Chain A
Amino acid sequence: MSILIWIIQLIFVPAFSPLCVGIIRKIKAKLQNRQGANVFQPYRDIWKLLHKDEVVSKDASWIFRFTPYIVFTVTLVVGFCIPLFLPHVLGFVTSDILFIVYTLAIGTFFMALAGMDTGSAFGGFGSSREMTISALAEGGFIFSLLTMALIVGSSNLFDITSFTRSVNSQYFLPTILAFCGFFIILLAETARFPFDNPATHLELTMIHEAMILEYSGKRLALMEWAASNKLLIFIALGANLFFPFGFPTNVGFMALALGIFYFLMKMFLFCVAIAVLESSIAKFRFFRLPDLLLISFIFNVVAIGLIQSIK
């Protein structure tokens, strides 16, 4: 049974992440009075791209060729290590909060290098902007996870989800503050409004898209897929760490199915929230983004201060 759970845990994120993107696009289309593509369209896009020939720049080195695999691997590994639909899986030693943060940073690191590798002006400034944002997002990211770890007394993500099920009401305020901080980081790290526009290809505004502009075919598919994996990872972290309910109590077949169902519901709610937010606000000016990221950091610092005064 545990092998089966491991396999489900490994393929769950890549299996559902395109759906996540599809749902967000569909809701955004509806809000813009458009019909919108089918929610399964991202799957078809990935499948199509995977079978296309590709064009590689002659200036590119092995970094450019190898990066899509690394970026995709990183999202798989992180997806494997975080709580998705089960509160407790055989105590992974790699479910540590810092491991998650720094492993995701591997992906960012190589993606930024790949952006610079082809020597196009777009890739370079995309990398520069991406690294600026992710450098400033790191503080808020670590601190929002740390807040939950301090409440629980363990920095293992599975411990956090299984503990807060019996959540004490006095930790309500710090949890909400930490969640607000985390949500800002979610938007920043997954290249969403107000940080980045996932649908743009205008050189003035794009960040993530600029870095992967030179990719095509299979490698582009991997990059796109990895980006949607990352989105689902952040949604899963937000849903399970801060709202830890709906987990199965035993490891039976029905319980598992129910757990997956609950998780998909939570995922849907997050998608709705992101889509509504994207449709209702404008993208910020680049130099206003640090303020937002600093707010996330301050939220978490306040939350940690609150926890200590409760204890």
Chain B
Amino acid sequence: MLEIITSPTSFFILLSLFFVGGIGSLFFLKNDKQANGWSSFFAIVGSLWGLFFSIAAILTKSSLLFDVKTSFFSLFKMSFHIDLLSSFFIFVISLIALFCSIYGIGYIRHYYKKYNIGVLGFFYNLFIGSLILVVTSSNGILFLIFWEIMSISSYFLVVYDNHDDDNVKAGLLYLVMTYIGTSFIILAFLLLYKYIGSFDFLIIKDNIALVPTSIKNIVFVSAFIGFGLKAGIIPLHIWLPAAHPAAPSHVSALMSGVMIKSGIYMMVRLFLDILQPVPFWWGLVVLVVGSISALLGVLYALTEHDIKRLLAYHSIENIGIILLGLGSALTFYSLNLPALALLGLMAALFHTLNHAIFKALLFLSAGSVINETHTRNMEEYGGLIKYMPQTALFFLIGSVAISALPPFNGFFSEWLTYQALFQGIAQMSFTTQWVFILATGSLAFTGGLALACFVKAFGATFLARPRSKEVTYVKESVLSMRLGMGGLALLTLLFGIFSGYTISLLKTISQGLNIFKDSASAVNVSSSQSINVSNGFSSISGMFVFILLIVTTFLVIFVFKKIINKKQKECTTNTWDCGTNLTPRAEITATGFSRSIILIFKGLLKPTIQHSIEYYDDQNRYLPKSRTVTLNIGNMYHTYLYQPLHMVINKLSVRAKAIQNGNIDLYISYIFVALMLALLVIL
């Protein structure tokens, strides 16, 4: 049975489900309801199929390699290679796509009559299908085609809500940045092709010794820029906080949870699989970039009061944390410590999975809030927990998970990442050790700041009194949306409790990579599901943590509610108001909450504050009519990186204009000169 599920035929059925779902929904352009039903149905069935396919592949440890016969071009072979790493990413994609699609059934309804649902269904299915193709294709050109389909379909999803000019602008920025990234990726593949003569990943891997180290370094830099741009590393992240909030929420969840991980997938594939052995400094570069992305990502998140942009910045932070795991894996492996390298890779993969789950959950619950309040501005929320109690609970679970609090899944993957870094501090030589110390420090501060940020996000959104009238009309979201969120919320807990089991599976997956085939692992999972790192340096058990916390909570509630004090009365009155009338304006706002942290980090964030006061009488300034304080965070990347770059390109273009005066004779002479030069060079 399992062999049938993991066959190539089954893989094509998986793809065709999304294909049928996508094309089919285009036929329902007239009927919104049917289009929604059709596309969601096929997306759900396809994701389920993907789940079965990937789980079966992981459990049977099967690796699938097959070509589709095409003889158009010799270089372009439709070859797919589904090893355990690919299966793992198919699992993550299908898992998130499943819950996003369930959520989508209800969520899409608010687009009825306003936008074309068939088009949404088409691009949505195309997007999921292309994600799966990206992580399975085994040929450079084929890969680039799917990569582009993924980028373009997500571009159309970003600009789907095109009545808002900001979304269109965000889409354009996304498109431009994506193409810059793709050009770097093409450069990397072309360089490899020059020395090996093939775009096929397996052939490149077998002949990697033909590539000189200097070229390999260039390949590393361009691939890291290209894939890092998709993953959203700082300073290449600028498209991410613009594009993710613009898309419909279930698509934002997919983009943040899964699409940016395709960059991580290719980094693992290239750096740990295809290009091995690699120079030592690559790992350190990845570590440093990871630390910077993690710390700055969370700091920018703190400055945001747009709920989806806040979550988008947290994606940057978490990509940084994943890169910390990956970077330590690279460093360890090039120092010939495969057991520790395996630990680093497992940490990175585990955090990839966990981040996908809780980030999707957070985006979906933020989407429910936005759907009801029609604003993304957190300052206009407040008190939503009373109007949408279940959504609030789901958002709370997501916040707890992303802040790495036990017993939820985020804690266990961050724990594993910490262990990889601790081993780096303990075992590396002097200079390398300092990189690891700084990375650990960055991770520690990131954890603390993320906690502060989610207190702010949850508190400002759901707690206290409503700060705008819109909130009082809010109703709880429909069943399918709650199902989508509830499923993911349950998963955050389950992947925490069964982290031991998950880690032992991740070990199998990581050992599927060639370089780890025979290496022992620094992580062992005992029979009682406790995770031990490097011969007892650390150990933790998800199950035990969960039981301990739950049992003690019930014990405490039982003792204090039933034994000590049974007859206590509780009366409900107003919050203490110091004798004034307590209005929502007395509450702390999202901006106010993070202001002290912003001021502490003002060297990095460069906040600007503008005061303006309007008086009743401009002549004698005693009675102010209104005061406005504008707190702004300067965009360093625009001012110091992108604008200078823009200026340079502009100036070069102006110079280049001089030789293009529109005279056709001149152009013909250019062609003639170019031809002569080319002939001269060749002859």
Residues of B within 8 A of A5 (CB): none
Residues of B within 8 A of A125 (CB): 588, 592
Contact segment of B74-82, B283-291, B445-453, B656-664: B445-453
> By the criterion CB–CB under 8 Å, are B430 and A136 in contact?
no
Question: How far apart are A77's CB and chain B's nearest CB, in angstroms?
Answer: 5
Nearest A residue (CB) for B458: A113
Report Cα–Cα, A264/B190, bound state, in Å: 70
Contact segment of B90-98, B156-164, B548-556: B548-556
Contact segment of A66-74, A167-175, A238-246, A272-280: A66-74
Residues of A within 8 A of B202 (CB): none
Residues of B within 8 A of A282 (CB): none
The 10 closest A-B pairs by CB, nearest first: A124-B588, A138-B448, A119-B464, A135-B448, A116-B459, A131-B452, A57-B575, A53-B569, A155-B538, A139-B444
Residue B386 interfacial (CB < 8 Å): yes
Residue B576 interfacial (CB < 8 Å): yes
The digit string for A159-202, where 1 denotes a CB below 8 A from any CB of B, is 10000000000000000000000000000000000000000000
Question: How far apart are A26's CB and chain B's nearest CB, in angstroms?
Answer: 26
> By the criterion CB–CB under 8 Å, are B574 and A58 in contact?
yes
- A–B pairs, 9, beta carbons within 8 Å: A54-B570, A55-B572, A56-B572, A76-B552, A105-B447, A105-B451, A123-B588, A131-B593, A143-B444
Residues of B within 8 A of A106 (CB): 400, 405-406
Report Cα–Cα, A248/B609, bound state, in Å: 60
Question: How far apart are A202's CB and chain B's nearest CB, in angstroms?
Answer: 13
Residue A103 interfacial (CB < 8 Å): yes
Report Cα–Cα, A218/B597, bound state, in Å: 33
Question: How far apart are B601's CB and chain A's nearest CB, in angstroms?
Answer: 9
Question: How far apart are B436's CB and chain A's nearest CB, in angstroms?
Answer: 10
Residues of A within 8 A of B557 (CB): 69
Residue A82 interfacial (CB < 8 Å): no
Q: Which of B418, B448, B451, B571 contacts A98 (CB 8 A)?
A: B418
> By the criterion CB–CB under 8 Å, are B575 and A214 in contact?
yes
Looking at chain A's contact residues, the main secondary structure is helix
Question: How far apart are B656's CB and chain A's nearest CB, in angstroms?
Answer: 50
Interface-centre pick from A59, A69, A137, A159 (highest chain B CB count, 10 A): A59
The digit string for A133-155, where 1 denotes a CB below 8 A from any CB of B, is 01111110111001001100111
> By the criterion CB–CB under 8 Å, are B596 and A132 in contact?
yes
Report Cα–Cα, A123/B593, bound state, in Å: 11
Other 19 A-B pairs with CB < 8 A, given A120-B577, A128-B595, A134-B452? A50-B560, A53-B569, A54-B568, A56-B572, A63-B396, A73-B549, A94-B540, A98-B538, A105-B405, A116-B463, A120-B575, A125-B588, A128-B593, A129-B596, A131-B593, A138-B447, A139-B444, A154-B538, A308-B425
Which B575-609 residues have a C-beta within 8 angstroms of A?
A: 575-577, 582, 584, 586-588, 592-597, 599-600
A136/B574 contact (C-beta < 8 A), A61-B463, A128-B593 known: no
> By the criterion CB–CB under 8 Å, are A136 and B445 in contact?
yes
Which A242-281 residues have a C-beta within 8 angstroms of B?
A: none
Report Cα–Cα, A283/B445, bound state, in Å: 24
> By the criterion CB–CB under 8 Å, are B406 and A99 in contact?
yes
Residue A118 interfacial (CB < 8 Å): yes
Residue A121 interfacial (CB < 8 Å): yes
> By the criterion CB–CB under 8 Å, are B586 and A119 in contact?
yes
> By the criterion CB–CB under 8 Å, are A146 and B422 in contact?
yes
Which A212-228 residues have a C-beta within 8 angstroms of B?
A: 213-214, 217-218, 222
> By the criterion CB–CB under 8 Å, are B560 and A69 in contact?
yes
A116/B540 contact (C-beta < 8 A), A53-B568, A136-B448, A308-B430 known: no
A59/B600 contact (C-beta < 8 A), A96-B538, A108-B451, A146-B422 known: no
Question: How far apart are B264's CB and chain A's nearest CB, in angstroms?
Answer: 23
Residue B404 interfacial (CB < 8 Å): yes
Nearest B residue (CB) for A142: B444
Residue ranges of A at the interface with B (Cβ–Cβ < 8 Å): 50-63, 69-70, 72-73, 76-77, 80-81, 93-94, 96-99, 102-103, 105-106, 108-109, 112-113, 116-121, 123-125, 127-129, 131-132, 134-139, 141-143, 146, 149-150, 153-156, 159, 213-214, 217-218, 222, 286-287, 290, 297, 301, 304-305, 308
> By the criterion CB–CB under 8 Å, are B592 and A120 in contact?
no
Residues of A within 8 A of B425 (CB): 146, 150, 304, 308
Looking at chain B's contact residues, the main secondary structure is helix
Residues of A within 8 A of B455 (CB): 109, 112-113, 116, 127, 131
Report Cα–Cα, A105/B572, bound state, in Å: 29
A58/B573 contact (C-beta < 8 A), A120-B586, A139-B448, A308-B433 known: yes
Residues of B within 8 A of A102 (CB): 404-406, 411, 447
> By the criterion CB–CB under 8 Å, are A154 and B537 in contact?
yes
Report Cα–Cα, A287/B602, bound state, in Å: 12
Interface size on B, residues (CB 8 A): 81
Question: How far apart are A291's CB and chain B's nearest CB, in angstroms?
Answer: 10
Nearest A residue (CB) for B573: A55
Residue B403 interfacial (CB < 8 Å): yes
Report Cα–Cα, A222/B600, bound state, in Å: 33
> By the criterion CB–CB under 8 Å, are B441 and A301 in contact?
yes
Residues of B within 8 A of A290 (CB): 600
Question: How far apart are B221's CB and chain A's nearest CB, in angstroms?
Answer: 30
> By the criterion CB–CB under 8 Å, are B538 and A156 in contact?
yes
Nearest B residue (CB) for A125: B588
Report Cα–Cα, A138/B400, bound state, in Å: 16
> By the criterion CB–CB under 8 Å, are B571 and A73 in contact?
no
A119/B386 contact (C-beta < 8 A), A93-B541, A102-B405 known: no
Residues of A within 8 A of B553 (CB): 69-70, 73
Residues of B within 8 A of A73 (CB): 549, 552-553, 556
Residue B437 interfacial (CB < 8 Å): yes
> By the criterion CB–CB under 8 Å, are B463 and A113 in contact?
yes
Residues of B within 8 A of A139 (CB): 441, 444-445, 448
Report Cα–Cα, A56/B582, bound state, in Å: 16
Residues of B within 8 A of A134 (CB): 448, 451-452
Question: How far apart are A198's CB and chain B's nearest CB, in angstroms?
Answer: 20
Residue B40 interfacial (CB < 8 Å): no
Report Cα–Cα, A61/B466, bound state, in Å: 13
> By the criterion CB–CB under 8 Å, are A143 and B441 in contact?
yes
Residues of B within 8 A of A154 (CB): 536-538
Question: How far apart are A5's CB and chain B's nearest CB, in angstroms?
Answer: 16
Residues of B within 8 A of A213 (CB): 576
A153/B574 contact (C-beta < 8 A), A63-B463, A121-B586, A139-B445 known: no
> By the criterion CB–CB under 8 Å, are A127 and B588 in contact?
yes
Question: How far apart are B146's CB and chain A's nearest CB, in angstroms?
Answer: 39
> By the criterion CB–CB under 8 Å, are A59 and B565 in contact?
no
Nearest B residue (CB) for A70: B553
Residues of B within 8 A of A93 (CB): 530, 539-541, 544
> By the criterion CB–CB under 8 Å, are B597 and A155 in contact?
no
Residues of A within 8 A of B456 (CB): 128, 131
Residues of A within 8 A of B400 (CB): 106, 109
> By the criterion CB–CB under 8 Å, are A61 and B574 in contact?
no
Residues of B within 8 A of A58 (CB): 572-575
A99/B540 contact (C-beta < 8 A), A73-B549, A106-B405, A135-B448 known: yes
Report Cα–Cα, A80/B553, bound state, in Å: 13
Question: How far apart are B511's CB and chain A's nearest CB, in angstroms?
Answer: 24
Report Cα–Cα, A217/B458, bound state, in Å: 26
Which B394-443 residues have a C-beta within 8 angstroms of A?
A: 396, 400, 403-406, 411, 415, 418, 422, 425-426, 430, 433-434, 437, 440-441
Question: How far apart are B437's CB and chain A's nearest CB, in angstroms?
Answer: 6
Interface-centre pick from A60, A93, A117, A153 (highest chain B CB count, 10 A): A93
Nearest A residue (CB) for B467: A119
> By the criterion CB–CB under 8 Å, are B552 and A118 in contact?
no
A116/B451 contact (C-beta < 8 A), A93-B540, A93-B544 known: no
Question: How far apart are A46's CB and chain B's nearest CB, in angstroms?
Answer: 10
> By the criterion CB–CB under 8 Å, are B587 and A94 in contact?
no
Report Cα–Cα, A51/B582, bound state, in Å: 30
A132/B441 contact (C-beta < 8 A), A113-B459, A120-B575, A120-B576 known: no
Residues of B within 8 A of A308 (CB): 425, 430, 433
